[in-house]
Every structure is written in C-alpha cells, then in structure tokens.
Amino acid sequence: MDEQAELGRYDRGLEILRRLAGEDEPAVTRDFTDIAPDLGRLTVEFPYGDVYHRSELDLRERQLATIGGLAALGYALPQLRFHIAGALNIGCSRREIVEAIMHLASYTGFPAVLNAITVAKDVFASRDDDEPGYADAAPEPEGSRYERGWKALAEIDGHAGEAVIENLQSIAPDLGRYIIEFAFGDLYVRGGLDLRSREIVTIAACTALGSALPQLKVHIHGLLNVGGTREEVVETILQMAVYAGFPAALNAMNAAKEVFADRD
Amino acid sequence: MDEQAELGRYDRGLEILRRLAGEDEPAVTRDFTDIAPDLGRLTVEFPYGDVYHRSELDLRERQLATIGGLAALGYALPQLRFHIAGALNIGCSRREIVEAIMHLASYTGFPAVLNAITVAKDVFASRDDDEPGYADAAPEPEGSRYERGWKALAEIDGHAGEAVIENLQSIAPDLGRYIIEFAFGDLYVRGGLDLRSREIVTIAACTALGSALPQLKVHIHGLLNVGGTREEVVETILQMAVYAGFPAALNAMNAAKEVFADRD
Amino acid sequence: MDEQAELGRYDRGLEILRRLAGEDEPAVTRDFTDIAPDLGRLTVEFPYGDVYHRSELDLRERQLATIGGLAALGYALPQLRFHIAGALNIGCSRREIVEAIMHLASYTGFPAVLNAITVAKDVFASRDDDEPGYADAAPEPEGSRYERGWKALAEIDGHAGEAVIENLQSIAPDLGRYIIEFAFGDLYVRGGLDLRSREIVTIAACTALGSALPQLKVHIHGLLNVGGTREEVVETILQMAVYAGFPAALNAMNAAKEVFADRD
C-alpha cells in the first residue's frame, strides 16, 4: 500500500462521489475544512474510495441499500436527501426510490417512512427534469391480501418466514396475520421494484436498525431465495459499516454467518 | 376477505384518523398523492383500519402508548406532534400527556424527553382552548425518595425489579440506588397518570427502543402486577408494529411469551 | 436523606449546570415551567446533582462521554449543541471535541458524525473567542495504514480486538481490513485526543447505541488496556443513564461485569 495506492483511494472515491453529487466539489469536501480539515478526505476515502468502488453490488443497488439504511436510522435525513438525489443522478427511477422507502414500513414502522418520503418529495420537486412524479397508483394485485401474502412469504422467506408466523400462534396470531397481509400481501407484491432489490433494502434496513437481528436472518434467507448471492448479502452488510458503523455491520455479519451455515 | 371488507378497512380507519386529526382530510391522505399515491391509503388501512380499531385497548391508552413509542424513537417528532394533538382531541388531558413524557426519562434518557416536551409545549400553545397549562407542581410525596422508591419498585415490578437492583450490587450499587430514587421515588409515585397507564407507556417505549428487552420483561411483569392483563401487554406491543416496525414488535412479543411462561 | 440533603442535590446540580451553560438561569430551568413545572428541577437534580457531581470522572471526561453518547443517539442535536458549548465552557479544546466526534465514525457511521460536526461548527462560529478553528490537518502518521492500524488494534483492544478480525476471515475479510485501516490506522492514531479519552468516548457511544454490546465489551477491555480503571468504565456507563436511559446503562453494566470477570 504505497503512496500511489493511497492517492488512488481518494481519487477514485471522489470520482464516484461527484457522480452521486452531480457537482465537481461535493459539499462534504469543503464544508468542514475550517474545523475538521481531514474529515472531507476521510469521508471520500473509506466510504467511496474503498466501499462504493467494490464490484459485488452495482451503484444502483448500493444507492437503494443506502436509502434503506439511512431511512431506518431515522435521524439521517440530510444524508438521505443527498443519497436520494444521488440515486436519481446515477439512474434510479423515482418509482424505485418511492417503492424502496414504502417497503420499509414493515421494518421501521410508518414514522421513518413518512419522514423519508417527505424528503423524497422535496428532492423530486427541486429537480427540473421531466420524469413523471409516479404515474398512477399500482393496480390492486389479484387474490385476497391474506392469500397472496402467504404465497409471497412462503416463496420469499421460506421456512424461516413461516416459522415466524407459527411462533406467534400461541400469543398474537393477529400480528402474524398483519405480517402476511400488510408486509407481504400489500408491500412485497407491489410492482416497481424487483424482489431482489426489495431484499437488499430490507437487509440494509435491518442491519442499520441494530436490534432486528432475528428478522435480518429471515431476510438473508430471503435474498438468497429470490436469486441473490452470498456475496451480495455480505456486500450489503459491509456497506452499512459506512452508514451505521462497524458494530452494526459486525453483528449483522455474524447473523449472515449463521444463515450460511444453516444452509450448508 | 371480499371487496366489501377491504373497503371497510379504509373507511373505519379514516373514521378514527379523522377523530385524531380533528379534520376531515388528514394530511397523510393528501400530502403524498403526487409521488406515492398508495401511501395514504396504506397508512389509513393498516394502522387505523386494522390496529387502532381493535378493542383490547381504548383510544386514550393507544394514544399514550403511541406517545411513549414515538418519543422513544427520538427522530419521530412530526408524528409525535400529530399524536399529542390527537391525544388531546380524543380526551387525554395535558397533564396526562406531560406525565407520560416525563415518565420516559428513566427509559430513554433526558434528551428524548426534552425534545418531546418541547413538541408538547408547541402543540399546547397552538390550541385556543381554556385547559390550564398544568396547574401547580406536584406536591413532594411522603417519605424519603429511597424509601418510597423501594416500596414502589417492589409493588410494581416485584421480584423482577428487585433482581435488577440485586444484580448491580457487585458492580454499580449507585446505579441501583438511582433507579430506586429517580425512576421510582421521583417518577412512578407522581400523580396525574395512573400506574397502569405508566406501564403501558413503558412497554411501548421499551418495545420501540428495540435494545431494551430485559427491561421490557420487567415491565411486562409490572403491567400485570398493577392490574393490567396479558391482552393489554400483547396489544401494546402489537400497536408498536405500526410505529417501530414488525421486528421490534416480534422481539417484544417473544419477551412477553417468556414472561407469561414464567408466571404460569 | 432529610430536607437539607434534598436541597443540596438541586443546589450542587445547578452549580455544575451553570458552569456548563455559561449563564445563571440555564434554559432547562425556565423553558417548561408552564407545562411541566417539575421537569426543570428533576433535570437539575438527577443528572447534575447526582451524576455529574461524582468524582470518578472529571468534568472534561464527562463532557467528552456526553458528546459521544449524544452523537451516537443521532436525534439529540439540541442537547449536543448545549454540551459542545458546555465542553468549551469548562475547558475542552475545539480540537478535542472535533476529534471525539470524528472518532465516532467507526461506531455510528458517517451520518451521525457529519450531523454532529455540523452542530460543532455552528457552536464554534457563535463564539467570539480567539481559539483557532483547528489549525492544520494532522500530519499523516508513519507506516502503512494497515501496519499502523494492526499495531494500534493489538495494543488497544488486545486479544478481544484480534478475535473480531479473526472471526471475519471466513465471511468478510475485507471488513476486518477496513476496521484495521480506517478505525485504527486512520482514526485511533490521530493526535489531538489521548487514547484513554478515545476509549471513554467509544464506551459512551456503544452504550448509547444499545445494540453494540459485543463491541462495547471489546472497548471496555480497550479502556482498561490503555490505563483506564474499572471505576472509569462503570462511571462512563452510569453517565449514559442520563442520556440514553436506564435500560441502555443496565445492559452495558452487564457487559462490563462479564469483561471484569474475564480479566480476573
């Protein structure tokens, strides 16, 4: 790791950050030069020079994961604003961003979703492009909410998801029913965002929450069940080290280790 | 679950939401129609049409639980503003709301309490009703803080609470003393909010925190010890699925399951 | 605990609070008198009259711990503003405060750090003292980031830290490398804040996060390895009862108990 390689981290980080920011001098590189002159450099080097530069997820997936993690933290609205605009700048559609945020209602509850969607609305309004706001409401999917939800849960989360519902029967069967109907029958089956992306967003959010490790394990199974790879699981968690810290990423990585061992 | 029943969820949800909002077209039903046209409907149907409509807690208790959960999240101040006003609109007194928020200082620490009480102050000031702000400071309860606190802890949390204090003796006995004096001797014994409501608020806050499961278990015992029912425990946790997500509710429900088994 | 002793708690708490606030009537003693007349008194008595008055940490260390805990909570920006100013008022340097916040990037991720440093920038700008903003960027430490990081990790966290890296080899070795290079090679080895203070900040942040107990244990070892005492570990955790609540402090105290037993 010679001098040249060190320079490389900053330069390649800045290249990605510029694409996200849509400007040559992103704010984080200049806002704190007077009180914390190294902070801009460190924010470019590790998050963007090291993590974003990795090939295991593409930039679109990283932005969806980041939006999931930041929305789940709840307090990270300035960063969410930057990364929603960043997602648009690198080619995510408004619909994908809105779907990723709405998808979180199951994992974070409604307040985090409503605050994030308010930020998204502001970001969309600030852009003078012609992309339609969203088009029409999604058509109601076929079948009863319970039936289509149970089918989706079984396909996506498999035995791990079914065990969650089973475990509730003796204490709160209605909570199980709401998970089937709302999380799966209302949200998972919506169009506008593919299942693999929905699971990446879910893994990011559960990692950032920190206290959702049992549910994270269910959705690591979920990503693998809908065609994702172990490398994508690991990479989504690793990316959360940037936004939620190493402890959150380490605990999530241990959860992934257990799931991988279960499946072997 | 035919078409009629689906319509029913929205309509009955809107009825409750209108009572809380004090207006015919609550903001959430119209704010996001351009970018997320289904979000308003989903926010009416599951939280209000499904959960709020249940009979295991009355509306006043649901609002106190919601205030407890939202204040504990810390970042959910816009929603806290709505639900403090909502609590007033459905008949909670200012004193009850203030007591519910102050009660949280033991569980969330002071920053969450100070930010929530600042929101309450704004909401109170925005109303032109004649309800007195709060009346006088509560009279100092009888006995030393330690003595009355220890008595309250033993009565409310019982053996589970005493075990917490005992466990601290070898490492931080003063922390145990502060719990007795401040959490119980200062806060629990205040008037203005009954013990059952205080435990509902506590269960809601510990569920929303996510990382307070051992303490949640103590206070599930607490609610049952002061006359609450298992149905109320389950219902308070279920309501937090709306505000803190299914993972928080699921982990709390497992804690409840363990407590119920312990008591059988 | 007679009347005199009770008065004593308020008076001695107010004395410390006045030093932090730099004014005779700190806002918390007057802002809520109309709606919650006891809240100001309770905020003076327990946090400042009981906890801050203890001798196991000095006021400078308490402020750094508080900044660490409040920044980790993410939502506590008004309180962070007060306590950054408070830290300056009792003699912390701007550099120490900036270093404490930047140090957190490993534990909270970047959003919490960027939001906290933005508050620090505002506080610094609002003061008309002559203290230089920060001086120059820190000189690049010697050796490769990996080498100096690994050396720092081994010295500070010892076997507990090495076990974290080892545990990642089979699933995400690059995450281990980033911890070595960024958390230790970039951050721990910076000047401007001594290692003991860095570990106090880390313990405060991991306690406040709530879901970082395995990492908290590593850094309890860390504080003891760099010359801190068990009393300082206990005291840092106890102080977080004020800012993150008793559940966070209780769970962290159990972690400390396990670490102390391991080392005996």
- Sorted by sequence, the CB contacts under 8 Å of residue C99 that are 6+ apart come out as C190, C192, C193, C198
Sequence letter at residue B46: F
d(CA C231, CA A239): 36
Contact B231, B200 (CB under 8 A): no
Kindly report the three-state secondary structure assignment for every residue of chain A. Answer: CCHHHHHHHHHHHHHHHHHHHCCCCCHHHCCCCCCCCCHHHHHHHHHHHHHHCCCCCCHHHHHHHHHHHHHHHCCCHHHHHHHHHHHHHCCCCHHHHHHHHHHCHHHHCHHHHHHHHHHHHHHHHCCCCCCCCCCCCCCCCCCCHHHHHHHHHHHHCHHHHHHHHHHHCCCCHHHHHHHHHHHHHHHHCCCCCCHHHHHHHHHHHHHHHCCCHHHHHHHHHHHHHCCCCHHHHHHHHHHHHHHHHHHHHHHHHHHHHHHHHHHC
Q: What angle do CA C221, C224, C227 make, to 5 degrees?
A: 150
Neighbours of B158 (CB within 10 A): 16
What residues in C contact A244, CB-CB < 8 Å?
A: 108-109
Contacts of C51 in chain B (CB under 8 A): 178
Mean pLDDT calculated for residue range C248-255: 98
Largest alpha-carbon pair distance within chain A? 62
Q: First-to-last CA distance in chain B?
A: 36
Rounded to the nearest angstrom, the minimum Cα separation between A207 and chain C is 11
Q: Which residue has the higher pLDDT, C129 or A149?
A: A149
Alpha carbon of B111: minimum distance to chain C alpha carbons (Å):
6
Please give the share of chain C, as a percent, with pLDDT higher than 90.
Answer: 91
**Contact yes or no for B211 and C251 at CB 8 A:** yes
Q: Determine the residue of chain A that is closest to B238 in CA distance.
A: A175
| Chain B residues touching C244 at Cβ < 8 A | 108-109
Instruction: Give start and end residues of each alpha helix (H) in B131-212.
Output: 145-156, 158-168, 173-178, 195-209
Instruction: Give me the pLDDT at residue B7, please.
Output: 60
**How many contacts (CB atoms, under 8 Å) link A and B?**
144
DSSP state, B132? -
Give the per-residue pLDDT at B51: 97
For position B139, what pLDDT does the model report? 66
Nearest beta carbon to residue B249 from set A144, A170, A175: A175
Q: Do B183 and C246 meet the contact criterion of CB atoms below 8 Å apart?
A: yes
**Chain B residues whose beta carbon lies within 8 Å of the beta carbon of residue A108:** 244-245
Closest partner residue to C238 (CB to CB) among B124, B138, B175 is B175
Can you tell me the distance from the alpha carbon of B201 to that of B207, in angstroms, rounded to the nearest whole number? 10
3-state secondary structure of B120: helix
Q: Is the ipTM of this complex over 0.90?
A: yes
Task: Tell if the CB–CB gap between B170 and C234 is shorter than 8 Å.
Answer: no
- Mean of all residue pLDDT scores within chain C: 94
Q: Which fold has domain B54-127+145-263?
A: AhpD-like (1.20.1290)
CB within 8 Å: C111 and A1: no
pLDDT at A5: 52
Instruction: Answer whether B244 sits within 8 Å of A114, measured CB to CB.
Output: no
pLDDT in tens, A213-242: 999 999 999 999 999 999 999 999 999 999
Spatial distance between the Cα atoms of C108 and C120, rounded to a whole number of angstroms: 17
Q: pLDDT, tens digit, for every residue of C111-163?
A: 999 999 999 999 999 997 767 656 555 667 778 999 999 999 999 999 999 99
Region label for A24, one of left (φ > 0), alpha (ψ between -120 and 50) or beta (otherwise): alpha
* Structural tokens at position A207: 């990692």
Tell me what pLDDT residue B128 has.
78
Closest-approach residue (CA) in chain B for A147: B1
User: A121: how many CB neighbours lie within 10 A of its CB?
Assistant: 18
Residues from chain C that touch B98, judged by Cβ atoms under 8 A, are 35-36
Subunits next to C (3 or more Cβ pairs <8 Å) are A, B
With an 8 Å Cβ cutoff, are C109 and A210 in contact? Answer: no
**Neighboring chain C residues of A111 at a CB cutoff of 8 Å:** none
Q: Do B244 and A210 touch (CB under 8 A)?
A: no
Which residues in chain A have Cβ-Cβ distances shorter than 8 Å to C146?
1
Question: What's the confidence (pLDDT) of residue C122?
Answer: 97
Res C1: pLDDT: 41
The mean pLDDT value of chain A amounts to: 94
Q: In whole angstroms, give the CA distance from residue B112 to residue B225.
A: 27
Whether residue B133 and residue C47 make contact (CB cut-off 8 A), yes or no, is no
Mean pLDDT across the stretch C92-103? Answer: 97
Q: What is the arithmetic mean of pLDDT over A38-53?
A: 96
Residue B148's CB: how many other CB atoms inside 10 A?
19
CB contact under 8 A, B137 and C31: no
Residues of C in contact with A78 (CB under 8 A): 111, 114-115, 118
pLDDT tens-digit profile of A68-119? 999 999 999 999 999 999 999 999 999 999 999 999 999 999 999 999 999 9
- Provide, as residue numbers in chain B, all residues whose Cβ is less than 8 Å from the Cβ of C32: 117, 121
Find chain C residues with C-beta within 8 A of B172's C-beta: 234, 237-238, 253
Measured between CB atoms, which of C42, C76, C257 is closest to B111? C76
Which chains would you list as touching B if contact means 3+ CB atom pairs under 8 Å?
A: A, C
Q: Specify the pLDDT at position C108.
A: 98
* Residue A92, phi-psi category: left (phi > 0), alpha (psi -120 to 50), beta (remainder): beta
Return the residue of A nearest to B245 by Cα. A109
Q: Which chain A residues are within 8 Å of B246, Cβ to Cβ? A: 106-107, 175, 178-179, 183, 215
| B217/B206 Cα distance (integer angstroms) | 9
Digits of tens for pLDDT over chain B (264 positions)? 444 455 699 999 999 999 999 999 999 999 999 999 999 999 999 999 999 999 999 999 999 999 999 999 999 999 999 999 999 999 999 999 999 999 999 999 999 999 999 999 999 999 977 676 565 556 677 789 999 999 999 999 999 999 999 999 999 999 999 999 999 999 999 989 999 999 999 999 999 999 999 999 999 999 999 999 999 999 999 999 999 999 999 999 999 999 999 999
Distance (Å, whole) CA C235 – CA C238: 5
- Nearest chain A alpha carbon to C171: A257
Tokens 């080498």 map to which residue? Answer: C147
Closest alpha carbon within chain B to A137: B37
* B137 CB neighbour count, 10 Å cutoff: 13
| Residue C192, C-beta contacts closer than 8 angstroms, at least 6 positions apart | C95, C96, C98, C99, C138
DSSP string, chain C: --HHHHHHHHHHHHHHHHHHHTSSS-GGGTTTTTT-TTHHHHHIIIIIIIITT-SSS-HHHHHHHHHHHHHHHSS-HHHHHHHHHHHHHTT--HHHHHHHHHHTHHHH-HHHHHHHHHHHHHHHHT------S--SPPPPPSS-HHHHHHHHHHHHTHHHHHHHHHHHTTT-HHHHHHIIIIIIIIIIT-SSS-HHHHHHHHHHHHHHHSS-HHHHHHHHHHHHHTT--HHHHHHHHHHHHHHH-HHHHHHHHHHHHHHHHHH-
Alpha-carbon distances of C243 from A42, B145, C83, C187, C205, rounded to whole Å: 29, 21, 11, 25, 11
User: What chain A residue is nearest to C103 in terms of C-alpha separation?
Assistant: A39
The per-residue b/e assignment along A137-167, b for 16 or more CB within 10 angstroms, e otherwise, is ebeebeeebeebbbebbbebbbebbeebbee
Residues A202 and C216: their CA atoms lie apart, in Å, by 26
| Mean pLDDT value of segment A55-78 | 97
Q: Least CA distance to A134: which residue of chain B?
A: B35
Region for residue A90 given its phi and psi (left: phi exceeds 0; alpha: psi -120 to 50; beta: otherwise): alpha
Chain B residue at shortest CA distance from A218: B247
Q: Which one of A39, A46, A74 has the shortest CB-CB distance to C178? A: A46
Would you say A22 and A89 are in contact if contact means Cβ atoms under 8 Å apart? yes
DSSP B27: G
What does the pLDDT average to over C41-64? 96
The answer on pLDDT for C244 being more than 50 is: yes
Say what the pLDDT of residue A3 is. Answer: 47
H/E segment holding residue B73: helix B59-73
What tokens were used for A103?
A: 């998808």
Return all residues near C174 (Cβ < 8 A) that are at least 6 apart. Answer: A54, A238
Q: Which two tokens stand for residue A93?
A: 């559609």
Residues spanned by CATH 1.20.1290.10 within chain B?
54-127+145-263
Chosen from B10, B29, B39 to mutate, greatest number of chain A CBs within 10 A: B39
Q: How far apart are CA B80 and CA A21, in angstroms?
A: 32
Please check the confidence at residue A6 and state whether its pLDDT lies above 60. no
Measured CA to CA, the distance from residue B222 to residue B217 in angstroms comes to 9
